[in-house]
Amino acid sequence: MFDPAVIVPPALISLVTAHVAGALAPVVWPWSDRVKNWLTHGAAVAACTAGVLIGIGGLLASDPLAFSLPSTIPLLHIQLRLDPLSAFFVLIISVSGVAVSIYALGYVREFYGRHSISALGALYHGFLLSMILVVTADDGFFFLIVWEIMSLVSYLLVVTEHEKAETRYAGFFYLVMTHVGTAFIVMTYLVFYQQTGSFTFDSFRHPGEPLPDGFRTVAFVAALIGFGAKAGIVPLHVWLPYAHPAAPSHISALMSGVMIKTAIYGLIRVYFDFLGGAFPWWWGFAVLAVGAVSALLGVMYALMEHDLKSLLAYHSVENIGIILLGIGAGMIFQSYGLSHLAALGLLAALYHTMNHAMFKGLLFMGAGSLLYATHTRNMEEYGGLIRTMPWTAFFFLVGAISISALPPTNGFVSEWLTFQSLFLSFMLPDPLMKIVIPIGAAMLALTGALAVACFAKAFGISFLAMPRSPHAKHAKEVPMPMRIGMGALAAVCVALGLAPMVVIPMIDRVTSPFTGTRLAQSAVSESGWTLTPMGGEFASISTPVLMLLLTVTILVVLLGVVLIAGTLKRRFHKTWGCGITLQPRMEYTATGFAQPIRQVFSTIYRPTVKVEKEMLEESRYFAKRMRFEVHIEPTFQRYLYDPVVRAFNLLANRLRVVQAGSLHLYLAYIFLTLIALLLWVG
């Protein structure tokens, strides 16, 4: 029998031991890069496997499990707590970590002889362990320490290829944004500390006196900004398209797949746990609005990207927005006392959190495989790769179908649940909310349509037609560990889509303490094959049956073709091109694919088009060469961040007068400061 109280403690010890050993052993012993790679990532697989056991144990435990270590530092309590919410995120981190660590066994070969495998491995283990500690910390001071460690380690991983100027800029941009977010998280915890006199999370949950409404609002806004900066909500998303492409691809898979989800954990912990799930309606409306805008703008900017990893980074903004739509709907329903609907919104958000971790990790590993094989991230230089990289193409296709929310994959189930929670707004007593929430559903529908278009472009331009460059022409399939890592997450994506009746009761254990209601029994039919979130008379769906119908339909169509056409014969011949020999330069490009959408939303994109023509000497009517460039205006960076940077630079230049380079003057500053402090204390 699986006893969490017996399994979790040794699994936790194994996790920490494996991470420490995997980080230190390659540094201590001067082995070859190959041995260091296998030792580092083999230990990571072992540690993440232990994390899977911890996550399952925490979800099955009847009561939260607590662990602590003595501390002599004032205000610091080294405490860990494994409740259902923590266990859920530990499980997500660990499942992703297993697949990514296997993938890294092959991918890191690209860094042999160019970068320190020991340093890369040590940082990798520190990154994984810090994320586990973030979601299990039970003290605000300790949380901030491990949060900062996670941020700094991820920054060092982003700048792995620091010899490139664009990588250094991306790392600096990320470091600034993450510390802006940390400042607001500190503010959030200081609000609770001011009321309770302690940084322990238990004191936050059970303060001696309730927080005044003003302080509660400050905590809400500060948490939304602080955790939102890490999650990548609009307009705090600007670091993602810089940092994710710059980082090694297996790190990008973890950053986009699970690191930004620690911010979702933080929001749920603050809103539904520390604030008790009691809040005014406008809090939920604010979260819903931020989610809707982030989802729509994220996918719109993704459509314009030709850098595959930047495209995926913008889709992280989109999917964080979808998650916030579920959380915002749940908060609105909770504020009106509709706990059953609140549980549905929160459940949909957590389901999509898990799903996004799986398919986004898969897609980033797919992008890393293309980078490994072609040494470029530009989709315009891909093409025809399905012939030379069939496994990568298949796994990327599974991820593309999943993120596009097409059945029967996992993305379809969680977005369907999100739609159901938004459609149920008619049960609210407030007429304004009955109008506003369906608008969010409409924006989600538009987001879904644009996501399908985006990944039709990403897959078609990358894998179909003819190779557009020597990089693509000579590409080869990636090593076996990389294929196994991608295959593992592809299988999880399909499993989460086909078995929601198993996943929903697990997530229900997370949401029920916050909403005070159990949803699993009513959300799954008695047969166990159909989802009925609010009863079968309102809406129901069965993904296993849907999968069966799709399979039968395809087989019937193929059988009909054989019966009608007879035995199939293959004939190979060049495609007719009006007498012209087809060349790769005649193919549809990513720029051309996105052109209609760019025209429709030109007021948002504000594109700049540049056309250069070189005419034949014999005639000015015939072009010898043409060059077309289009750039999308970085609206948020230009009109929001650049003015702030200029203001700080101006202020810094004005304050340079105090930096005279005189030691005596600096001592005078110190002396005057001490005098002022003594007068203030006195």
Q: What is the pLDDT of residues 299-313, one digit of tens each?
A: 999 999 999 999 999
Residue 658 has pLDDT above 70, yes or no: yes
pLDDT tens digit sequence for 517-572: 988 877 777 677 888 887 656 778 888 888 999 899 999 998 888 888 776 677 77
Beta strands in 61-142 (DSSP E): 65-69, 78-82
Mean pLDDT of 218-237: 95
pLDDT of residue 202: 93
Share of the chain above pLDDT 90, in %: 65
Torsion angle in degrees (nearest 10) through CA of 339, 534, 319, 441: -100
Residue 145 has pLDDT above 70, yes or no: yes
pLDDT bucket at 280, cuts 50 / 70 / 90: very high
Q: Is position 594 within any domain?
A: no
> Are the C-beta atoms of 513 and 507 separated by less than 8 Å?
no
Are residues 653 and 557 part of one domain? no
pLDDT of residue 420: 92
pLDDT bucket at 682, cuts 50 / 70 / 90: low
pLDDT tens digit sequence for 155-194: 999 999 999 999 999 999 999 999 999 999 999 999 999 9
Angle made by CA atoms 483, 489, 494, in degrees to the nearest 5: 120
Are residues 618 and 506 part of one domain? no
pLDDT of residue 289: 96
The mean pLDDT value of the chain amounts to: 90
Overall domain count for the chain: 4
Are residues 495 and 628 part of one domain? no
Mean pLDDT of 206-211: 84
Mean pLDDT of 122-151: 96
pLDDT of residue 427: 87
pLDDT of residue 638: 85
Are residues 498 and 465 part of one domain? yes
Mean pLDDT of 260-268: 97
Choosing from 162, 194, 226, the residue where a domain stops is 194
Q: Helix, strand or coil for residue 327?
A: helix
Q: Is position 271 within any domain?
A: no
Residue appearing with tokens 């913008």? 314
Name the pTM for this structure. 0.93
Residue 637 has pLDDT above 90, yes or no: no
> Lowest-confidence range among 215-219, 545-549, 600-604?
600-604
Choosing from 168, 194, 220, the residue where a domain stops is 194
Residue appearing with tokens 């369906």? 438
Are residues 386 and 301 part of one domain? yes
Residue 581 has pLDDT above 80, yes or no: no
pLDDT of residue 462: 94
Mean pLDDT of 121-125: 96
pLDDT of residue 2: 66
Are residues 461 and 317 part of one domain? yes
Residue 435 has pLDDT above 80, yes or no: yes
Q: Is position 611 within any domain?
A: yes
Are residues 337 and 285 part of one domain? yes
Residue 59 corresponds to which tokens in the numbers above? 């979800």
pLDDT of residue 132: 97
Q: Is position 453 within any domain?
A: yes
**Residue 673, domain extent:** 637-681
Are residues 659 and 606 part of one domain? no
pLDDT of residue 535: 66
Mean pLDDT of 615-629: 76
pLDDT of residue 29: 81
pLDDT of residue 1: 58
φ, ψ dihedrals at 613, nearest 5°: -125, 140
> Lowest-confidence range among 94-103, 210-219, 452-461, 623-632?
623-632
> Lowest-confidence range among 30-34, 94-98, 283-287, 379-383?
30-34
Beta bridge partners of 631: 608
Q: Considering only CA atoms, which of 69, 76, 263 is closest in space to residue 154? A: 263
Are residues 112 and 90 part of one domain? yes
pLDDT of residue 11: 94
DSSP state of 352: H
Choosing from 561, 582, 610, the residue where a domain stops is 561
Buried b / exposed e over 259-278, threshold 16 CB at 10 Å, is bbbbbbbbbbbbbbbbbebe
Are residues 468 and 617 part of one domain? no
Residue 529: HSE in the Cβ half-sphere, 13 Å Cα cutoff: 6
Residue 649 has pLDDT above 90, yes or no: no
**Burial (CB count <10 Å: 0-12, 13-18, 19+), residue 2:** exposed
Share of the chain above pLDDT 70, in %: 98
Residue 267 corresponds to which tokens in the numbers above? 């929001």
d(C-alpha 121, C-alpha 188), whole Å? 33
Mean pLDDT of 127-147: 96
pLDDT of residue 496: 95
d(C-alpha 311, C-alpha 629), whole Å? 18
Are residues 624 and 550 part of one domain? no
Q: Is position 220 within any domain?
A: no
Residue 574 has pLDDT above 80, yes or no: no
The residue type of 150 is: M
pLDDT of residue 9: 92
pLDDT of residue 224: 97
> Lowest-confidence range among 51-65, 162-176, 336-350, 639-653?
639-653
pLDDT of residue 404: 95
**Burial (CB count <10 Å: 0-12, 13-18, 19+), residue 596:** exposed
Q: Is position 274 within any domain?
A: no
> Lowest-confidence range among 210-214, 290-294, 351-355, 365-369?
210-214
Residue 678 has pLDDT above 90, yes or no: no
pLDDT of residue 282: 94
Q: Is position 255 within any domain?
A: no
pLDDT of residue 363: 97
pLDDT of residue 568: 65
Are residues 76 and 52 part of one domain? yes
Q: Are strands 65-69 and 607-615 parallel, antiparallel or unpaired?
A: unpaired
CB atoms within 10 A of CB 469: 16
Q: Is position 47 within any domain?
A: yes
More confident residue, 69 or 627: 69
